[in-house]
Structure 1
Amino acid sequence: MTVHAFVDESRRQDTYYLAAAIIHPRQLRQTRSVLRGLLFPGQRELHFAKETPSRRKLIVSTLCELGVEVDIYAANCRKGEERARRECLTRLTAGLVQRDALRLVLDSREGRDVHDRETIVRVLRKADPDTPFSYEHFESAGEPLLWLADIVAWCHGAGGDWARRIRPVVGDLIRLDYP
């Protein structure tokens, strides 16, 4: 079955996390609607680091009820965040192509988006040229499904009770270590 992936990042000390919310096409509309419903009047996006602890608990509980899955790619970033991101994004993209994913949406990092494009193109060159796979960058305020990745990456990276609370949403945890 085809899927869409929505990706955001987080960093905790020397660990870089790339989280990918894996959404089936039939879930897109409803999941966006639920996420928008969590916004306060005038709020443009959910950015988990800016939410209060009680509000975070409400948001995480709501996500756990949605039945969504977010895969997490983790890499050591002592030798550079961009290198860690490239490793995670390479592995993610290759996995999405194998899954017959239709679309990859990444939270825009503005001037650094070019690095993502180079990484994705490098992976796609090895794939079947007829693979129907597209990718793009969005501002997180414009795509609520990016908020899922932000929330899960934040909670997992925080560890402790937050990691426990978000565990039902976490799919695969892929640890990429390099010297």
Structure 2
Amino acid sequence: MTVHAFVDESRRNDTYYLAAAVVRPDRLNPLRAQLRALLFPGQRELHFYKEKPARRRLIISRVSAWQVRVDIYRAGCRSGEEKARQACLARLVDDLLDVDGRRLVLDSRQGRNAHDDLTIRHALGKCASETGVVYEHLDSAAEPLLWLADIAVWCHGAGGEWARRAAPVIGSVIRLDWP
């Protein structure tokens, strides 16, 4: 079965994280509705670091019950955050191809999206059209499934209680610069 991936990023000190919520097509609309139901009236998006701790606990509790999977790619960023991001993104695209991924949606970073485009085109190779993968950058307010990646990566990066709460959501953690 094909999957779609929704990608957000986080940074904690010298560690860069790229998170991909991996979703089957039949779950896209139900999950979007469940995520929108978590919004306060007038709220446009969930951005986890802006939420208060009690609300964070409620949100991660709900998300953990939905049986979703978020894979996390991590790299050191002492040599530069953009370099770490592109290494994580190249590996994510390779992994997406392995699981018959068809759509990749990345949280837009305005002027820096061109870096991602180049990395994705390179990772897809000369026969990119044959892979069937399409990709785009969207503002997180326009695509609620990006919030899944944001929630999971924030919790994972925070460690401790938050990482434990997010454990049911975390699929693989791929460390690109550790043995």
Sequence identity of aligned pairs in percent?
Answer: 62
Q: CA deviation at 1:126?
A: 5.2
Aligned to 1:171: 171
- Conserved 8 A contact 1:97-1:127: no
Equivalence map 1:46-85=2 (5 Å): 46-85=46-85
Distance 1:166 1:126 in 2: 38
Letter aligned with residue 7 of structure 2: V
Q: CA deviation at 1:109?
A: 0.2
Alpha-carbon distance change, 9 to 128 in structure 1, aligned in 2, over 3 angstroms: closer
- Conserved 8 A contact 2:45-2:144: yes
Aligned to 1:131: 131
**Does residue 104 of structure 2 align to residue 104 of structure 1?**
yes
- Conserved 8 A contact 1:22-1:68: yes
What are the ranges of 5 or more consecutive residues in structure 2 without an aligned counterpart? none
Distance 1:165 1:9 in 2: 19
Q: Deviations over 1:101-128 (max 9, x none)?
A: 1100000000000000000000111556
Distance 1:3 1:17 in 2: 21
SS of the aligned residue for 1:102 comes to strand
**TM-score normalised by structure 2 residue count:** 0.97
Q: CA deviation at 1:97?
A: 1.2
Letter aligned with residue 95 of structure 2: G
- Name the count of aligned residue pairs: 178
Q: Deviations over 1:57-110 (max 9, x none)?
A: 000000011110000000000000000000000000011012111100000000
Letter aligned with residue 169 of structure 1: V
Q: CA deviation at 1:129?
A: 4.2
Distance 1:126 1:81 in 2: 27
Aligned to 1:20: 20
Distance 1:159 1:67 in 2: 21
Q: CA deviation at 1:176?
A: 0.6
- Conserved 8 A contact 1:32-1:145: yes
> Structure 1 stretches (4+) deviating beyond 3 angstroms?
126-129
Aligned to 1:116: 116
Letter aligned with residue 45 of structure 2: E
Distance 1:55 1:129 in 2: 43
Distance 1:126 1:162 in 2: 41
Letter aligned with residue 69 of structure 2: E
Letter aligned with residue 153 of structure 2: A
